[in-house]
Amino acid sequence: MRIGKQDQAFTAIATSDAESITVRGNDLCDELIGRIDFTDYFWLLVIGERPSERQRAMMDACLVSIAEHGLVPSVQAARMTLAAGPDAWQGAMAAGLLGMGSIVAGSSESAGRYLADIIADANEHGGDLEGAVVASLDALKAARKKVPGLGHPQHNEGDPRANRLLQISDDLGVSGKYVETLRLLAEHAPGIINRPLPINVSGAIPATILDAGWPLEALKAVPLLARTAGLAAHLYEESLRSIGFIMSHKADLAISYDGKASSASDKQKSV
C-alpha cells in the first residue's frame, strides 16, 4: 500500500556487497573501524561529512553534558521496566527513550526551533535580532508560556552545564547567531517575564551545536544518543541491584485515591 508520492527510492547512508560494506562513501572495515571515534562517526552518519576539530569538540561536550542527570522520569521508567522484565533490555531502553519529551531531555529540540524562529523573524525584518527577541518574549508573556531554553527549578543562579557549554563554544570560536540569540533572550527575559530566567542546558545545547553546523532537523538525535549512554548505566546497575520495584512502591504510597468508593467499602463504613 502506497501512501502519498514515493518516487525516490534511494539512500545515501550505506550499502554492501559480498566483499565490502560502504558507509557514507567510506569502506567500513578499511577506513572506519579502528580509524574513527564514535562522535566523528555519529556526525558522519547523520550529515555525510566528517566533523572539523571544533565541531567534534562541541558535539563531545554536548553529549557529555546531557548523558546523565539522575533518576529523572525517563530513567525511572526504564529501571521499572527492567525490574518487571529482566530479560528485556531493549524494552527498558525503549521505555526510557520514549519518556524523553518536550519537558525532559527533548526540550533541546523545542529550544532550538524557538531560536531558529527568532532568527528567521529577525531576517525578515531587516536583521534586528534584539527587536525580534523582545517581540518574542512579549508574545510568550501575553500567552503565559514558558521561554524555551531559559529557567531551571534547581539552578536558579544559572545552570552550570549551560555556562560550561557556552564557554567551550566561545573558546572554540563556534559561537554565532544562535548563541547570540540565546544570550539576548537571557538578557531581556527577566525584565519582561519578571523573574530570574538563566540559560539552561536545553538552551545551550541547541545554540552551540547549531552554530557548529549541526542540522536543526536532526537536533533531537543529540540528547537521544547521549541519554542512551546514561540509560545503559542505569540498566546495568538495575540488573545488579534492583530499585525498580522500590520506586514503584514509593510511588504507590505517595499517591492517594480520590475516586468513588466501592459499594463494599460503603457497607463497611455503615457497620
| Residue pLDDT, tens place only, 177-190 | 999 999 999 999 99
**pLDDT class of 115 with cuts at 50, 70, 90:** very high
Does pLDDT of 7 surpass 60?
yes
Model pLDDT, residue 102: 72
Query: What are the CB-based long-range contacts (under 8 Å, 24+) for 253-258?
Result: none
The one-letter amino acid code at 176 reads G
Considering the segment(s) 107-218 as one domain, its CATH architecture is Orthogonal Bundle (1.10)
Model pLDDT, residue 101: 75
User: What percentage of the chain reaches a pLDDT higher than 90?
Assistant: 82
Does pLDDT of 149 surpass 90?
yes
Model pLDDT, residue 107: 84
**pLDDT class of 3 with cuts at 50, 70, 90:** confident
User: What percentage of the chain reaches a pLDDT higher than 70?
Assistant: 93
Does pLDDT of 211 surpass 90?
yes
Grid coordinates standing for 1?
Answer: 500500500
Model pLDDT, residue 153: 57
Model pLDDT, residue 5: 74
Span 121-146, average pLDDT: 95
Does pLDDT of 176 surpass 60?
yes
Counting DSSP H helices and E strands in the chain, the numbers are: 12, 3
Span 49-78, average pLDDT: 95
Least confident of 109-113, 169-173, 214-218, 266-270: 266-270
As a whole number of angstroms, the distance between CA 15 and CA 21 comes to 6
Residues of the chain with CATH 1.10.230.10: 107-218
Model pLDDT, residue 170: 98
Average pLDDT, the chain: 92
Phi first, then psi: give them for residue 177, nearest 5 degrees: -65, -35
Model pLDDT, residue 9: 83
Grid coordinates standing for 74?
Answer: 525517563
User: What does the pLDDT look like over 59-73, one tens digit per residue?
Assistant: 999 999 999 989 989
Model pLDDT, residue 244: 92
**pLDDT class of 156 with cuts at 50, 70, 90:** low
Beta partners for residue 23, in sequence order = 14, 26
Model pLDDT, residue 105: 65
Span 36-54, average pLDDT: 97
Grid coordinates standing for 269?
Answer: 463504613
Model pLDDT, residue 155: 55
Q: What are the start-end ranges of the H helices in 3-88?
A: 38-47, 53-66, 73-84
CB contact set of 217 (below 8 Å; sequence gap of 6+): none
Grid coordinates standing for 149?
Answer: 531554553
Strands 14-16 and 26-27: unpaired
